[in-house]
Amino acid sequence: MTTSALAGLRERIDGLPPLREVAAASLPARKSLGQHFLFDLNLTDKIARTARPAGATTEAPLEGTTVVEVGPGPGGLTRSLLKAGANVIAIEKDQRASEVLAPLIEAADGRLTLITADALSADWTAIAPPGTTICANLPYNVATPLIVDWLTGPWPPWWASATVMVQREVADRIVAAPASADYGRLSVLTGARAFATSVFDVSPAAFVPPPKVWSSVVRIDPKPDTGVPLKALERVTAAAFGQRRKMLRSSLKALTREPETLLAAAGIEPTERAERISVEDFIRLAHAWEATNEDTPAAR
């Protein structure tokens, strides 16, 4: 997009009715959908900038980038993504949004596509081209399953990066390091497949209606394919963290009759606890279990 075309797009978007008026008239937030809207465009601009690819300009940080946004609501973040130069594919379950977003779709002049669908059942590879960026204020009630879905799909993934707003407690679990209270199965899965950083926190007062908890913006960038055995990793972490305070030689009895043999194969002390071993340790443990377990593809 040329500089003049982007300036024209920004002018059209800035001329739209204020977000608060739009939401108040046609799209009051629904608790059942986990909706908490952002009307502060300075904040949504900051989120959009956080999603920029490496080397992007500050004038148009998302120029030439296709962005998937889940749950656009009245379109606050959507406006910021468009003004940053992105082509946006918005997935919205709430059918009221199609009418609310119609003026923004017109102003975007072909750079905004709205798909009315449930993101939890979306066929992402059919919706988004390879290399797509994810940027969204995720509805609280679908944030974790969506992130897990994105992390457990075919690898390399269809997405180049994911910048998402989630509950702070979820963000803490995503980025947690071993020996911290938040370290668990989601931490291990994320660490096995991606680099994750909690970028900044957002007060409940920034949302309408305000939630009861703080939120955080997290940036997730996929790692190269290292052959992580996901199904085995899921079984191993479920057993290990199912009794996280116990030593692994006890907690892994839910997985195998000979936990100490399994741990020895992975080079892990049997007296260690799940909350203290690294992502790399868990990956070795998953490989070891996959190699010896009759129910896994590697053993068949």
DSSP for 18-30, written as a single string: PHHHHHHHH----
Tell me: do 216 and 272 sit in the same domain: no
DSSP H helices, 110-228, are 124-127, 143-152, 168-175, 185-193
Q: pTM value?
A: 0.93
pLDDT of residue 146: 97
How large a percentage of the chain has pLDDT more than 70?
97
Tell me: do 209 and 236 sit in the same domain: no
Tell me: do 150 and 247 sit in the same domain: no
What is the DSSP code string of 21-63?
A: HHHHHH----GGGT--EE--HHHHHHHHHHTPPTT--SSSTTT
- Rounded mean pLDDT of the chain? 92
Q: Does the annotation list 191 as a binding residue?
A: no
pLDDT tens digits for range 124-181: 999 999 999 999 999 888 999 999 999 999 999 999 999 999 999 999 999 999 999 9
- Say whether pLDDT at 23 is over 80: no
Tell me: do 215 and 244 sit in the same domain: no
Q: Does the annotation list 230 as a binding residue?
A: no
CA 189 to chain centre: 12
Tell me: do 93 and 240 sit in the same domain: no
Tell me: do 139 and 168 sit in the same domain: yes
Tell me: do 82 and 194 sit in the same domain: yes
- Say whether pLDDT at 261 is over 50: yes
Identify the band that residue 297 occupies on the pLDDT scale cut at 50, 70 and 90: very low
CATH number at residue 145: 3.40.50.150
pLDDT of residue 295: 54
Least confident stretch, 12-16, 167-171, 206-210, 275-279: 206-210
pLDDT of residue 238: 96
- Residue 279 structural domain: 230-299
pLDDT tens digits for range 94-123: 888 888 999 999 999 999 999 999 999 999
Residue finishing a domain among 222, 255, 272: 222
Tell me: do 161 and 29 sit in the same domain: yes
Q: Does the annotation list 36 as a binding residue?
A: yes
Tell me: do 144 and 106 sit in the same domain: yes
Range with the largest mean pLDDT of 28-32, 83-87, 140-144: 83-87
Q: How large is the C-alpha radius of gyration of the chain? A: 21
- Say whether pLDDT at 294 is over 70: no
- Say whether pLDDT at 186 is over 50: yes
CATH number at residue 281: 1.10.8.100
Residue finishing a domain among 195, 222, 249: 222
Report residue 31 as tokens.
Answer: 């608790």
Mean pLDDT of 182-190: 98
**What are the distances in angstroms from CA 112 to CA 9, 106, 108, 276?**
12, 8, 6, 45
Tell me: do 53 and 109 sit in the same domain: yes
Q: Does the annotation list 182 as a binding residue?
A: no
Report residue 217 as tokens.
Answer: 């913006």
Mean pLDDT of 227-245: 94
Residue finishing a domain among 190, 222, 254: 222
- Say whether pLDDT at 44 is over 50: yes
Q: Does the annotation list 149 as a binding residue?
A: no
Separation between Cα atoms, residue 48 and residue 69, nearest integer Å: 11
Higher pLDDT, 27 or 199: 199
Identify the band that residue 299 occupies on the pLDDT scale cut at 50, 70 and 90: very low
> Number of folded domains in the chain?
2
Q: Does the annotation list 227 as a binding residue?
A: no
Tell me: do 144 and 244 sit in the same domain: no
Look up residue 146 and give its amino acid: L
Residue pair 293/239 in contact (Cβ under 8 Å)? The answer is no
Residue 169: what are its φ and ψ, rounded to 5°?
A: -65, -35
Tell me: do 145 and 198 sit in the same domain: yes
